[in-house]
Structure formats: structure tokens, C-alpha cells
A = this chain, B = another copy of it.
Amino acid sequence: MTQKTRVGVIGLGYWGPNLARNFFELPNAELVAVADLDQQRLDRLTSRYPGVVGTNDYRDFFTMGVDAVVIATPPAAHFRIAQECLENGLHVLVEKPLTRTGEEADELVAIARRKNLRLMVGHTFEYNPAVREIRRLIEADELGEIYYIDAVRTNLGLFQLSADAMWDLAPHDISIINYLLGVEPVSVAAQGGSFVLRNYGIHDVVYMHLKYPEGVMANVRVSWLDPNKTRRLTVVGSKKMLVYDDVESLEKIRIYDKGVDAPPYTDNYGEFQMSYRYGDVNIPHIPWSEPLRMECTHFIDCIQKGETPLSDGVSGMRVVKLLEAASESLRTNGSIIELNFTLPEDVIDTTTAEPVGD
């Protein structure tokens, strides 16, 4: 039997305790230690999980036989901590966004490859059974040619000063769309408004416009300032259309067997007649499993089998570079920014693993 992977969690704010709980419960991992500057948070965690060591300095992990760390600190600290952990030979799972600049992301990818360590980013939705079902439908050509994707992610709050609504919310949608389409976006433009935090110049509402190869379009609307919690993704294909509503507890995906076909091109407008198709709506039964649990399991699996994670450092780097470009667009009144995800030349090339479960 494989030995248990020894895990340490850094950052016990909002999300860290969820990660700690999962690694504590995983059969092939062992939660060894947790780190946070706040002693109260540490005490709460260690009293709940007897045997887990708490420390104010994650560098203590380096002498505790820890194999892998999970970084759930505020984004500003991601790069520095991840870099240090990699350099000390630890596998790293970083919460999204991976870093705050593309350059930093490139560097983390480079170190991980050089030292042959797993670098993974917490794009939880890629491990969501509903999102995986949509990808399966697209790959099986159930929807036909994908025309466009529209994503909406809104609610009231939670406002921050360390990020705007786009950096806070859009990583989810971008990682989902990248995952579904399986290609890199070509360009981005973004426009937004700064209302509640206008004195700080922080956007609470942002509209992003993404172009993908072959004319595929994606638009993302995020807002901290909306009366309703919305998490809706519409995928429009030439054969079928689909709406994924993550706020629904049971009926997350609705597949519409409807569409429209244009007649062959004609100069004679009089003969022009569209052909509409209206069919059933299907709501597939999707057996549920907690996405975070699947993500944590995948991280440990990749470490133990030496495989590249589905949401690896490159995946995280793409999201960061896109957000960086979108911020540039926001600053320049919505100008279109071309995207380039090429890694620096000196980065060792490795192969991407197949998606989990396939």
C-alpha cells in the first residue's frame, strides 16, 4: 500500500478550514500541521483535529516531514509562499487565483517543473460533477458546434480591498470556460463600474468579453452589487443549448433540444426562411459528490502517481494572465487585449495528464 501523503495547510481564514477537514478525512493523506498568524484560528483547528500541529510560521513545515502544502492565504501571499515551499521540495496546491501576475505564475510553473513537483491551483469547479457532465456533453458532440457561452456570477458582497469583483469571482467562470472549451482564449476586453468602493477605485461590477479560436465567444458578468445570488452559465451550440444553474440544489443542468438552422446562402431575400427546432428539455440526474473533496483527492493522487493535475500550474497561469489582461482593458476603457500564454523558453516541457475520471 502507498504511504500516506503528509499535508500541511497554510492559512485558516474562510476557506482553509474546509481544506483542512478534507485532508484530515482522506484515507491516503495525513493532515500533519496547520499554519496561521492568528493563534485563535490555530487553536480552534487543532482542538478539532487532535494530533495536528499548529504553528505561526509555515517554514516549520520544512522540518516536519511534510510532503505537500495547501496555500489558502490572501492572494497577495500566494506567490511568495508557493515559491518557498516548492524550493524546499514540497508539492503545492494554491487557492485561486494562483498568483497576482502572469510573471509570478510562470515562475512557479518553472520551479515546479525543474524540481519535478506537483503544482496545482484550486479551480474547484473543474471538479464539480455538473461541470464535468457539461464537458462530457460537449466532447460527445451532443451540443454540436459551440457558438458562445454566457456566464453570470452575482450576489451582494463580499467586498474586499485586496481584490476587485473580477479577481474575486471571475476565476471560477474563466477556469470553467477554459475547461469546457479545451482551448486558450485569444483576446479579452472588460468594462466595469466602481460604485460602493469608488473612493478606492475598486470595481464592484465587471463585464468581460472573451474571444476563443474559431469565432467562439464568451461573456462573463460578475457583480458584488446585485440583489440576487446568481451562478448561471448558458452554453449555446448548433444542435442543443444548455443552462447550468449552480444555485439550484437538484436540477443544475437543463438541456434544451432546440435550435435554428439558416438556409443555404441566397441572394433572394424573399426565399429566406429560417428553420426552428423545438424539442424536449432534459434535466439529467447527476450523482453528487463534493467538488472540494474530489479536488483534494486528485491532488493526493497526482502526487502519489506522479501525474500532472487537471488544474495544474499552467491552468492557473492562464487564468491569471487573462485577468491581468482584463485589468489592463479596464484601465484603458475596454480596449481589446490580445492574449499570449506561452511559457518562457527556459521552462522544462512536460505533458499534461488526462482529466480525472476519464
Binds B, one of A36-44, A96-104, A123-131, A260-268: A260-268
Inside 8 A of A278's CB, which chain B residues have their CB?
Answer: 156, 285
Binds B, one of A7-15, A108-116, A221-229: A221-229
A336/B334 in contact, CB under 8 A: yes
A156/B276 in contact, CB under 8 A: yes
Q: Which of A220-248 contact B (CB under 8 A)?
A: 221, 224-228, 234, 236, 238, 241-243
A226/B241 in contact, CB under 8 A: yes
Q: Is A197 an interface residue (CB 8 A)?
A: yes
Q: Is A177 an interface residue (CB 8 A)?
A: no
A261/B196 in contact, CB under 8 A: yes
B157/A258 in contact, CB under 8 A: no
Inside 8 A of A158's CB, which chain B residues have their CB?
Answer: 274
Supposing A161-B272, A225-B260 touch, asked if A281 and B193 sit within 8 A by C-beta, the answer is no
Q: Is A324 an interface residue (CB 8 A)?
A: no
Inside 8 A of A284's CB, which chain B residues have their CB?
Answer: 280
Q: Is A307 an interface residue (CB 8 A)?
A: no
Q: Is A320 an interface residue (CB 8 A)?
A: no
Q: Is A62 an interface residue (CB 8 A)?
A: no
B281/A251 in contact, CB under 8 A: yes
B282/A280 in contact, CB under 8 A: yes
16 residue pairs from A and B, CB less than 8 Å apart:
A147-B193, A147-B196, A148-B193, A150-B221, A156-B278, A157-B276, A162-B269, A191-B209, A195-B236, A198-B215, A225-B260, A227-B236, A251-B281, A279-B285, A281-B282, A333-B336
Q: A159-B262, A227-B234 are in contact. List 16 more A-B contacts (CB 8 A).
A: A147-B225, A156-B259, A161-B272, A193-B217, A195-B238, A207-B207, A224-B260, A225-B260, A226-B236, A226-B241, A251-B281, A257-B285, A279-B285, A280-B283, A281-B283, A281-B285
Q: Could you tell me which A residues sit within 8 Å of B by CB distance?
A: 50, 147-148, 150, 156-159, 161-162, 189, 191-193, 195-200, 205, 207, 209, 215, 217, 219, 221, 224-228, 234, 236, 238, 241-243, 251, 254, 256-262, 265, 269, 272, 274, 276, 278-285, 333-334, 336
